[in-house]
Structure 1
Amino acid sequence: MSVVGIDLGNLQSVISVARNRGIDVICNEVSNRATPSLVSFGVQQRYLGEAAKTQEVSNYKNTVGSLKRLAGRTLSDPDLQEFEKKFIAGELVDVDGQVGVKVNYLGESQSFSNVQLLAMYLSKLKEITANEINGPVSDCVITVPGWFTEVQRRAIMSASQIAGLNCLRLVNDLTAAALGYGITKTDLPEDKPRTVAFVDVGHSDYSVAIVSFVKGQLTVRGSAFDKHFGGRNFDAVIAEHLATEFKEKFKIDVYTNQKALLRLMVASERCKKVLSANPQAPVNIESIMDDRDVQTIVNRTDFEEWAAPLFTRTEDTLRKALENAGLTVEDIDAVEMVGGSTRIPAIKTTISNFFGKPISTTLNQDEAVSRGAALQCAMLSPVFKVRDFRVGDICSHPIKLEWTKSPEDEDTEIVVFDNNNSIPSTKMLTFHRSEPFTLEAKYAVPEALPRGINPWLGQYTIKDVKPASNGEPAQIKVKVRLNIHGIMSVESAHTVEEKVVEEEVTNKDGEKETKKTKKLVKTGDLTIVSGTTSLPHNLVDQYTEKESQMVATDKLIMATEAAKNSLEEYGYDMRDKIVGPLSEYIDASVKDKFVEDLNTVVDWIYDEGYDQPKSVYVEKLDALKAVGTPVVERYREAEERPRAANSLREAIQRVTQEAMSGDDKYSHIPAQDKQDIVDRGDRARRWLDEQLAKQEKVPKCETPVLFARDIAKEEEAVVAFATPILNKPKPIPKPAAEESADAPMADADEKKEDAKEEKKDEMDID
């Protein structure tokens, strides 16, 4: 059973698995530990991850990035139009009420929603994982930013379901990093907590979480976010200044050419990374536009001056996180940083100065979140045993319930899950009603949400409500839950009545007596009809079926390409070899025709054979192999036969020498058995000589009469015959006690013989 943690990033994603008593970050098909978060569409198939990255510029209109930023959004979202649209080259459209992208796929214009695009990418991550662990992938934990709202979280959950993943938990990314940090610490205090500030500056957003640790537990105290601050903002700053410089120096305007702008953004990102470790960085872009090459050098001091307003924003979020946690800078014991953009020296310096302490380097900046997610998955999985460690996460956006005022109510709303409320959490609310009523869930502070996100979360109608038996409004208990994913739901509702209940109790004298008490007793469950921001089930089923079809199409295309490549490779390879090393092993009457067929196939592939079904390529390859395979086999036999013959002769010589040697370890073996080994070796040698003589008379272009496998089989037979004989154990010598017991008898026999000799001598004398 797989246990997988996925750090779903806006630029790239990292996958970790729990195995071998640890957490491993796995590599994709090109051995990278992070996979680009891109989906691209072609005339015949989709390209996902690394394959999409290669088409980012050449096929930019049909390549979609910023997948995480699109989750749960609508086309009219002002945040999307102002910030995200400029990072997506494709055309944004409305798909089933969600924002989607129109692309050219399979030769026609098609539109896919953000949930479908996310599902496609998650399917790729699932495939990478399955290839690495050599098994199916099911259970996983996916990380999301702490500021993600319910509609965004539901979009990720739906996407994982469509991709065939069982998401055990959506965990906030910095909570995952904190788990990876705390569970490995053996020196955590038992009383006074150790408080750590976790700072994550990623590609598109900036998060801070203040976390307290005690032995066996972490508790998130507070958090803050800047939803539009990240590495891409620094890329844009560099690109803007380079575009101005290139316009003055080379008289080109990259903003008039989408491909040129994409090339500039790629170069700017590379420049930013170089400047993180060096005082200056060269920028060279070949054929950026109008066949012009451009080059310049960017100094780190200039870059920091250009980006000065961005660095100022860094402190604002830190200050807000401390405020939400109710702490001061002096309360922070350590500062941990994750996210690729935290490598920018000025960001490190700003954060270090704010807290008045050096940055700790306990965590891997790129992989800590993914590793923490895998740990969380292992903790939730029944098949893994993980050190006990409690994770106390919090709600980032307070949630309230509203209802229509009734005579029994003083209020019409209540904040059920306040800011910093623990996750998961359950609340029981009491209402007095005589008829069905409706609860509406909303975010309590809409202005704190990402701009454009609807604060409405759901509507829950409590049905079958009737007055109590005494005619008064029924007392109704409603169970509200904020689940492990950070998603709110009304789980159940039931009526209760105050009834007199008889109970047996023990009095002070130890005697049993019956006592009547008033208790609230459950009298019936109520039906709840809900409407939420989740996708309708029929739409999820439709997306799932569509994804399965596209996966099948991709696999067929990949198999077809593999078959075409195999045919092309065989054609080129055999064409060269048949007039080279294989020339002697093919009949002259067949050779010319075979060479002609090979040339024809190679030419055909680049003509009408360029786009054919898989079966056509397989059929042509089989036809060529029917002629070529026997030729290759004859060549291989000619190469392997001498080696096999030498190996047999060496085996015969070895067992014969051992049998005929005077070595003491073989002294117990009967001479006849040793002679049998010699005779068996002689028979094998004669057989080999006879067969090799026959083979010498067979032309190289004909089927051999002696195969290397036959020689190897004879060698096995010789060794199998000799080994049991040579390994026969020596007889067990008599114990020393028996030898000492026999000694007196031997002496007596010797004395009798001596006496006989004496008598014989005496008789001779007489």
Structure 2
Amino acid sequence: MSVPFGVDLGNSNTVIAVARNRGIDVIVNEVSNRSTPSVVGFGPKNRFIGESGKNQQTSNLKNTVDNLKRILGLNFTDPDLKIEERYLTVPVVDKDGQVAVKVRLAGKEEIFTSTQLVGMYLNKIKDIAVKETKGKFTDICLTVPVWYTEQQRRAAHDACRIAGLNPVRIVNEMTAAAVSYGVFKTDLPEDEPKKVVFIDIGHSTYSVSVVAVKKGELKVLGSSSDKHFGGRDFDHAIAEHFADEFITKYKINIRENPKAYSRVLTAAEKLKKVLSANSQAPFNVESIMNDVDVSSQLTRDELEEFVKPLLERVHIPIDQALSAAGLQKEDIDAIEVIGGCTRVPSLKARLSEIFGKPLSFTLNQDEAIARGAAFICAMHSPTLRVRPFKFEDFNPYSVSYFWDKEDEDTDNLEVFPKGGSFPSTKIITLYRSKDFEVEAKYTRPEELPKGSISTPFIAKWFLKGVVLNEGESSIACKLKLRNDPSGFYTIESAYTVEEKEVQELVENPDAKEDDEPEYKTVKKLVKKNDLQIELQTLSLPKKILSEYIEKENSLSQEDKLVADTEDRKNALEEYIYELRGKLDDHYKEFASEDEKAKLQEMLLKAEDWLYDEGYDSSKGKYIAKHEELASIGNVIRGRYLAKEEEKKQALRSQQEAKQAAAMAEKLAAEKAARDAAGTTNSEAEKKEQQSDEKMDEELD
């Protein structure tokens, strides 16, 4: 049985939650952290993903990719790529029109698309969940930013497939947080819904959703985002300040040294966190470049001055979300705040000032989205029972469907307007004379986030199997259009209908029981035949997706082999030192001088080999060396263990003898006590008998 799990794919860190133990648990990774760095690195032998990727990032900048969520689904021509290149340290290239990176893996140059990179990362996330819970993971609910377009959502879906996962739902991050709030908050009203604003300011994005929530259900009324507002912007503001300062103070330019700038960015992030709790903090980086140690300090007031342009934009997404929801600030009952960047005091103060009321921190700022996603995934599970909860999301963009005009009055229709709710289904009727095509596009591309998309195209459907009735020039075709739970636009079904005469019962409320029923002949549209639907979407073609899945499986096996080889190497090294130490101690009496000399020589040769030509050897050779040493070492160890067993047996025998003696002594004492008691009773009976005889004599 697959364990439902939700993944909050963060731009800096990712949180995993699973539905189990009658609740939602957050999974820790291999170093017991509750979040995992969203990083993929490539090395001379294998990949470094998550914690290991973060650890080697500074020393391997040109082969380490972060900001995965920002480049997922981008076209190479999208203007946003120019912004993202500021944060990337790897060469970005074009692969079939998509953003890709050029890296070196195992000595070879490789090109991976953004979808592949996220697929690699999700495979690692799945592996973490499997190792921590020992469960089977197939179904996933993955969260994405509310501003993601169809192309980006399709890329997220494909990335899950590459990782061997079944994405039961792609859900907006803010909606997942709202679900977490609605499901686990116990004091929600049952009639009139509570109006709650959810604000999430994370590593790279600032999002707002206005939600009406009551017991058992919620509806997202409006959403908005500033996708270039987050913690990384604060970090860069700090780094740029110190870059300028170091030019004057130390005569070094860290902008010319990627490693130096990366180290300053890392230190800037730590400084930002310290300033969230303190009014000032020191800043130190040793040997930053050219053997120069740098030191400085920063105050909270100075930081607020650096990010003043950001703070002046805080109100914009809030105003836009409230406008989409048709509400005023006075209508809001609570402001729930999540996201790591909201710990910055100036941001919290600005948000509270905008609403004129205190902020609420009911939800866990780092884990709320993952918990909501895990619950949503559990809702889709056929084996788990969860409390009923209904929710509807907000459609941020208007979508129209287009077709050839033929006999129609128009060639398009806005089917899913901006501000509508989804999932949603609409049925339209077209009169067609032959097989036809339907295309979905964004109605107003100018409403899309600036810089994120090059084309308004969403999907195209080829509908085949149109058969006309004799003597007719066209036939009615009904199309069931759907904006599904993951936000994808589809044609769920299509079929032709024809007009037929049918007998329909006449309703007669005055009829008696024995009256004959009356029927009338009416004309009705009835289904004639289903149409075949061929789909062209922004998802990866099946052939390419299969290639990517095969590539990921191959890379995973290579990573596993490298890890197993390293484990065998470490085991051999440990065995050499352990056996050498015990030869002069525990095993001293159990090996002849010849055996000791031979084994010592073998250990020395094995050690020399291990640190020379065997330093980078194969798994099989490490196993062979280990077995070679063990062929003698285990014989000596066996003698030692046999002697130890004899000692244990002798000790057990002594303990058993002592216990037997103690028991015999105890039984003897008990018998003596019983015998003494028996003698006393006999004397008393004898005296009583003599007394009775004397009394009888007196009576006579």
Give the TM-score category using the shorter length: over 0.9
1:80 counterpart letter in structure 2: L
C-alpha displacement at 1:448, in angstroms? 2.4
| Counterparts of residues 247-266 of structure 1 (less than 5 Å) | 247-266=247-266
Which residue matches 2:433?
Answer: 434
Match of 1:671 in 2: none
Structure 2 residue 318 is matched with structure 1 residue 318: yes
Match 2:560 to one of 555, 560, 578:
555
Could you say if the C-alpha distance between residues 641 and 361 of structure 1 is closer, same or farther in structure 2, counting changes exceeding 3 Å?
farther
Q: What residue is the counterpart of 1:479 in the other structure? A: 480
Alignment of 1:219-618 (within 5 A): 219-406=219-406, 408-450=407-449, 451-453=451-453, 454-505=455-506, 507=508, 508-510=510-512, 511=515, 512-618=517-623
Given residue 218 of structure 2, which amino acid in structure 1 is its aligned partner? Answer: L
Checking the alignment, whether the CA contact within 8 Å between 1:659 and 1:666 is kept in structure 2 is no
Partners in 2 of 1:290 and 1:222 — Cα distance? 52
Unpaired stretches in structure 1, ≥5 consecutive residues: 668-756
User: Structure 1 residues 587, 344: closer, same or farther in 2, change over 3 A?
Assistant: same
Shift of 1:631: 2.5
> What's the secondary structure of 2:358's corresponding residue?
coil
Structure 2: which amino acid aligns with 1:463? K
Tell me by how many angstroms 1:190 deviates: 2.1
Q: Deviations over 1:667-697 (max 9, x none)?
A: 9xxxxxxxxxxxxxxxxxxxxxxxxxxxxxx
Letter in 1 for 2:149: T
CA-based RMSD: 2.1
Corresponding residue for 1:728?
A: none
Where 1:112 maps in the other structure, the secondary structure is strand
Amino acid at match of 2:440: A
- Distance (whole Å) between structure 2 residues aligned to residue 528 and residue 17 of structure 1: 36
Partner of 2:199: 199
Partner of 2:119: 119
| 1:644 shift after superposition | 4.3
**TM-fit CA distance, 1:660:** 6.3
Question: How many Å separate the matches in 2 of 1:534 and 1:92?
Answer: 21
Does the 8 Å CA contact 2:178/2:211 hold for their aligned counterparts? yes
Q: How does 1:29-44 map to 2 (within 5 A)?
A: 29-44=30-45
Per-residue CA deviations over 1:613-652 (Å, capped at 9, x if unaligned) read: 1111101101111211233343445455444433343234
Deviation of the 1:139 alpha carbon: 1.2
Task: Give the match for residue 680 of structure 1.
Answer: none
Q: What letter is aligned with 1:647?
A: R
Per-residue deviation, 1:664? 12
Per the alignment, residue 729 of structure 1 pairs with: none
- Larger Rg over CA atoms: 1
Specify the SS of the correspondent of 2:348: helix
Q: Which residue matches 1:744? A: none
The TM-score, its normalising length taken from structure 2, stands at 0.92
CA contact (8 A) 1:575 1:599 kept: no
1: CA distance between counterparts of 2:467 and 2:627?
A: 77
Alignment partners' CA distance in 1, 2:169 and 2:535: 22
Q: Is the 8 A contact 2:68 2:117 kept in 1?
A: yes
Matched-pair contact (CA < 8 Å) for 1:38–1:67: yes
Shift in Å, 1:295: 0.8
Q: Helix, strand or coil for the counterpart of 1:87?
A: coil
TM-score by length of 1: 0.84
Counterparts of 1:233 and 1:244 in 2: how far apart (Å)?
A: 17
Between the aligned partners of 1:336 and 1:639, the Cα distance in structure 2 is: 65
Structure 1 position 294, deviation (Å): 0.5
Structure 2 CA distance for partners of 1:663 and 1:439, relative to 1, 3 Å: farther
1-structure distance, mates of 2:330, 2:74: 39
Indicate the residue corresponding to 2:682 in structure 1: none
Q: How does 1:114-153 map to 2 (within 5 A)?
A: 114-153=114-153
Aligned partner letter, 1:495? T
Q: C-alpha separation between the residues in 1 aligned to 2:459 and 2:378?
A: 32
Q: Structure with the greater relative contact order (CA < 8 A, sep ≥ 6): 1 or 2?
A: 2
When residues 482 and 655 of structure 1 are mapped into structure 2, their CA distance, relative to the original with a 3 A threshold, is farther
Q: Name 1:731's counterpart in structure 2.
A: none
Aligned residue runs from structure 1 range 672-687, under 5 A: none
Checking the alignment, whether the CA contact within 8 Å between 1:463 and 1:527 is kept in structure 2 is: yes
Q: Name the SS of the counterpart of 1:540 in structure 2.
A: helix
Q: SS in structure 1 opposite 2:518?
A: strand
1:723-742 equivalent positions in 2, closer than 5 A: none
Question: 1:452 Cα deviation (Å)?
Answer: 4.1
Q: What letter corresponds to residue 446 of structure 1 in structure 2?
A: P
Change in CA separation of 1:143 and 1:655 when aligned onto 2, cut-off 3 Å: farther
State the distance in 2 between where 1:161 and 1:663 align: 79
Letter in 2 for 1:614: K
**Contact 2:77–2:97 (8 Å) recurs in 1:** no
Q: Residue 480 of structure 1 contacts residue 492 of structure 1 at CA under 8 Å; is this kept in 2? A: yes
Range moving further from structure 2, 473-482 or 362-371: 473-482
DSSP 3-state at the match of 2:140: strand
Aligned residues of 1:433 and 1:466 also touching (Cα < 8 A) = no
Post-superposition shift, 1:666? Answer: 11
Matches of 1:655 and 1:115 in 2, distance apart? 74
Preserved CA contact (<8 Å) 1:9 1:37:
yes
Deviation at 1:470, TM superposition (A): 4.5
Q: Give the letter aligned to residue 652 of structure 2.
A: S
- 1:21 is aligned to 22
Deviations 1:713-744, CA, capped at 9 Å, x for gaps:
xxxxxxxxxxxxxxxxxxxxxxxxxxxxxxxx
Give the Å deviation of 1:575: 2.0
- 2:637 is the counterpart of 1:632: yes
Q: Residue 613 of structure 2 aligns to a residue in which SS?
A: coil
2:33 is paired with a residue of what secondary structure? coil
CA distance in structure 2 between the aligned counterparts of 1:652 and 1:468, rounded to whole angstroms: 104
